[in-house]
A = this chain, B = another copy of it.
Amino acid sequence: MDLATRERAPHPEAPAAPYARVKQFLKEGLSHGRWAPGALMPSEAELVARFGVSRMTVTRALRELLAEGLVTRVQGVGTFAAHLSKVSSTLTIRDLHDEIAERGHRHHAEVHTARQERASAELALQLGLNSGDAVFHTLIVHFENGVPLQCEDRYVNPACAPDYLSVDFTQTTPTHYLLQVAPLWEAQFSIEASQASAQEARLLRIGLGEPCLVLVRRTMSRGVPITLARLVHPGSRYQIDGQFKP
C-alpha cells in the first residue's frame, strides 16, 4: 500500500475514520443524484481500490447505509441506490412525567380508576387473554402545571405485571412502572383526531366535542402483550414532534 495516500486530513469537516469517509462519499453522491434510485452503485472492490482501504472498512460503510435504508444490496448482483418513496421518521414516545419535568414544569396525576375487571371479548383478543379473564384497568389524568394534558385509559395483562394495582400512580406513571417490569418493548400504535367524549371532556376540562389527539398503543414484550393504552390529549395543548435525518 502507498503510505503517501494516508495523509492526515487537513480539513476539519472531513471525517477522520476511513469507513466514515467512504460512507460520506456515497451519501453525498446519493444526495446529489449521482446514482438515481435503482441505479447500480460502485462495488465493494471498486471502493476498496478507490479509497485504498481494506474490504472490511468498505463493508462497514455499506452495511450502515443499508441499515439506514439508503441502499439495497443483492448478493451476486450489486449495491443499488434505494427507492425512497417514503419518508420514515423517528417518532419518540416518552414517559409523560419526564417530558413535563424536562420542560421545567410540574407534573401531577389524578387516579380515577384502578381496579381489576373482566376482559371483554375484544380486549381479551388484544391482550392475548380469554374473554372473562381478569385484567387490570386504570384511568388516570395527567396535569402539567395544574392543567389537564392527558387522559390515560389503560388495560394491563396481569401475568406481566402482577403488582400493577399496588403501585401509587400519583407518584409513578404506569409507563415508567411497566418499563421496569418489561424493559424491551415492541409496540403498535395509531394516531387520530377525534372529538372528546362527555367523560373525556369533563376529565380534561375542555368543551364537549373539542378536538383531541388520540394515541392508541398496544405494547408487547417477548411476544406477550403487556398493555393497551388510549391516550387522549386536548388538541389545543398537545402536539407530537419528530424529525427524520438520513
Contacts and interface: CB of A to CB of B under 8 A. Distances in A.
A93 B87 contact: yes
Nearest to A189: B242
B88 A184 contact: no
Interface in A171-227: 176, 179, 182-195, 209, 211-214, 219, 221-222
A219 to B, nearest CB: 8
Given A31-B221, A191-B213, A211-B193, A91 B242 contact: yes
A214 B31 CA distance: 29
A173 to B, nearest CB: 11
Contacts of A18: none
Stoichiometry, as copies per complex, reads 2
B191 A89 contact: no
A30 interface: yes
Contacts of A67: 64, 67
B246 A188 contact: no
A239 interface: yes
A84 to B, nearest CB: 6
A31 B212 contact: no
A243 interface: yes
A211 B188 contact: no
Nearest to A212: B193
Q: 5 tightest CB-CB pairs across the interface, nearest first?
A: A193-B235, A211-B211, A193-B193, A31-B184, A192-B239
Given A31-B221, A87-B187, A193-B193, 18 more contacts: A30-B184, A31-B184, A33-B183, A64-B67, A85-B94, A85-B179, A86-B94, A87-B93, A89-B187, A90-B91, A91-B91, A189-B241, A189-B243, A191-B239, A193-B212, A193-B214, A194-B236, A209-B209
